[in-house]
Chain A
Amino acid sequence: METLIQGVTSITLGQIAMMLIGGILIYLGIKKEYEPTLLIPMGLGAILVNFPDTGVLTQMVGGTKAEGVLDVLFKAGITTELFPLLIFIGIGAMIDFGPLLQNPFMLLFGAAAQFGIFFVVIVAVLCGFDIKEAASIGIIGAADGPTAIFVSNQLAQNLLGPITVAAYSYMALVPIIQPAAIKAVTTKKERQIRMTYKAESVSKQTKILFPIIVTILAGFIAPISLPLVGFLMFGNLLRECGVLDRLSNTAQNELVNIVSILLGLTISVKLQADQFLNWQTLMIIAFGLVAFVMDSIGGVLFAKLFNLFRKEKINPMIGAAGISAFPMSSRVIQKMASEEDPKNFVLMYAVGANVSGQIGSVIAGGLLLSFFM
Chain B
Amino acid sequence: MIHNLEIAFELMGFGMGGVFLVLFVIYLISKALIKIFPVK
Contacts and interface: CB of A to CB of B under 8 A. Distances in A.
A363 B30 CA distance: 17
Contact of A118 (B11, B23, B25, B39): B11
Contact of B37 (A108, A130, A206, A371): A206
B6 to A, nearest CB: 9
A111 B23 contact: yes
Contacts of A100: 30
B33 to A, nearest CB: 4
Contacts of B27: 104-105, 107-108
A101 B22 contact: no
A62 interface: no
A328 interface: no
Contacts of A128: 1
Contacts of B15: 114, 117-118, 364, 367-368, 371
A364 B19 CA distance: 6
A222 B18 contact: yes
Contact of A371 (B1, B11, B22, B40): B11
Nearest to B9: A122
B8 A134 contact: yes
A135 interface: yes
A135 B12 CA distance: 10
A206 B34 contact: yes
Interface in A323-373: 356, 359-360, 363-364, 367-368, 371
A210 interface: yes
Contacts of B26: 104, 107, 214, 217, 359
A200 B37 contact: no
Interface residues of B, number: 30
B38 to A, nearest CB: 6
Q: Is the interface of A mostly helix, strand, loop or mixed?
A: helix
Nearest to A364: B19
Nearest to B21: A221
B34 A202 contact: yes
Contacts of B39: 201-203
A87 interface: no
Contacts of B14: 367, 371
Nearest to B13: A118
A217 B8 contact: no
Contact of B38 (A201, A210, A214, A367): A201
A107 B22 CA distance: 10
Contacts of B33: 101, 205-206, 209-210, 213
Contacts of B20: 108, 111-112
Contacts of B7: 125, 131
Contacts of B22: 111, 217-218, 221-222, 363
23 contacts: A101-B33, A104-B34, A111-B23, A111-B24, A114-B16, A114-B19, A122-B9, A125-B5, A125-B7, A135-B11, A201-B38, A202-B39, A203-B38, A203-B40, A205-B33, A206-B37, A209-B37, A217-B25, A363-B18, A364-B15, A367-B14, A367-B18, A371-B15
8 A-B pairs with the lowest CB-CB distances in the bound complex, closest first: A104-B30, A118-B12, A201-B39, A205-B37, A367-B18, A206-B33, A111-B23, A111-B19
Interface of B: 1, 4-5, 7-9, 11-12, 14-16, 18-27, 29-31, 33-34, 37-40
Given A206-B37, A364-B15, 5 more contacts: A101-B33, A112-B20, A118-B11, A122-B12, A209-B33
